[in-house]
Amino acid sequence: MIKKLAYGIVALAIAVSCTSPKANTETFEAGKLLDYAVTKTSATMNSLHAADSLPRNIYSTQTEWNKVGIHDWTSGFWPGILWYAYEASGSQDILENAKEYTEALKGILDVPVDNHDLGFMLYCSMGNGNRLIENEEYKNFLLVTADSLATLYNPKVGTILSWPVMVEQMNWPHNTIIDNMINLELLFWAAKNGGDQRLYDIAVKHAETCMNTLIRPDYSTYHVAVFDTIDGHFMKGVTHQGYADSSMWARGQGWGIYGYTMTYRETGDKRFLDVAMKLADKFLERLPEDGIPYWDFDDPAIPEAPKDASAACVASSGMLELSTLLTDEKLKARYKNAAVKMLRILSTDQYLANDKNQAFLLHSTGHHPNGSEIDASIIYADYYYLEALLRLKKINENGTL
């Protein structure tokens, strides 16, 4: 039985301005928003009854989370939110819930590995848990998870296969998506914590190959890179969740910023830092005047196209870390201030769910071409929003993460 925490939803008045050009992003306070996120996390926690039934989305006509099972690619985000909420609050009730929801995810490896999302599913959850409470059982399970993810690596191509199902379904012999950059963190972690050096080498080679294929000359990104499996050559760049093969899908650009920043942190290779900065610059260059991206920067329906708050959350979190890895003070300020500006806008009544539903945020877009999760609250938007707030708090207090 999931332990309950008797918090009521409280209305938090957050006085922030997102329109004044004189607004000083350095004064943005993460504390009140962290309180808001912890309170809403506790309320959702109280409404759940099974640790293998996990929040995924809330549509505009709904107030409560729609649930998925542990094998959904988003399954790690709710446990991850619980770990972050515990980090922010120190609540023992939240900690107990984080442990219970994380425990349920162990069944993920009971079936054959059929996608690249093990990092999202288990590093965002169990990885955060191990970071906070140093659990030997978590550590060992993560090492097995990293080895499982590595089974999808094709050395001839130089990347991890993202979607085995798409090999026949879309005639993509070997496909790799920009999202996959996030899962490399699991491999880097494992190589430092008792895993084989090969895991580090796979992660580096994957990042190198994607740098030369998924990233276009103008530093926008393809969603999917398709490779030949005979000699491993890059065949084409296409989209799956973006507007068109040639367009810039907003969340994909965010995954790139986040992923290459993390890869530089783990390797110290300046090539990856340069790419992370150029991806971030491209994202910022294309942002609309109101500061939050549309789901795809090239949708011809703009300005009537839906927004994607999740893309802003991922990019903000990535840029905050990027700012800590730079030595040039102007560049540090550029990326930190850009991230804070997006967080400031996300933290207004336009984007905060407040008492409208159980989520932290409104107005994310999941899979627009498929007609799913359009203008919805989505669990990974909340996860990266909370992560970004925690990162900002640490940077403001310590100057680093």
- 65, 57 Cβ separation under 8 angstroms: yes
Beta-bridge partners for 177: 224
**CB burial string 349-361: b at 16+ within 10 A, e below:** eebbbbeebbbbb
Element of type H or E holding 226: strand 224-227
Distance (Å, whole) CA 39 – CA 32: 11
Both tokens of 54, joined, read 């996990």
Distance (Å, whole) CA 270 – CA 263: 10
Q: What is the largest CA-CA distance in the chain?
A: 59
Both tokens of 21, joined, read 């050009």
Burial of 23: CB neighbours in 10 Å, binned 0-12, 13-18, 19+ = middle
**CB burial string 302-325: b at 16+ within 10 A, e below:** eeebbbbbbbbbbbbbbbbbbbbb
Q: Where are the beta strands (DSSP E) in 155-223?
A: 159-160, 174-177
Choice among 35, 93, 114, 117 that is catalytic = 117
The sign of the CA dihedral 179, 254, 39, 63 is: negative
Those residues with Cβ within 8 angstroms of residue 67's Cβ, 6 or more apart along the chain or in another chain: 53, 54, 55, 56
Q: What is the DSSP letter of 105?
A: G
Q: Give the residue from 218, 255, 215, 396 showing the smallest Cα distance to 323.
A: 396
Element of type H or E holding 68: strand 66-68
Strands 234-238 and 224-227: antiparallel
Q: What is the four-CA torsion angle of 48, 54, 56, 61, rounded to 10 degrees?
A: -30
Which of left, alpha, beta for 212 (phi over 0: left; psi -120 to 50: alpha)?
A: alpha
Both tokens of 394, joined, read 């640490």
Choice among 93, 179, 299, 382 that is catalytic = 179
Concerning whether 245 is annotated as a catalytic residue, the answer is no
Distance (Å, whole) CA 132 – CA 319: 23
Q: Give the residue from 279, 260, 278 showing the smallest Cα distance to 269.
A: 260
Concerning whether 290 is annotated as a catalytic residue, the answer is no
The residues assigned a catalytic role are: 117, 179
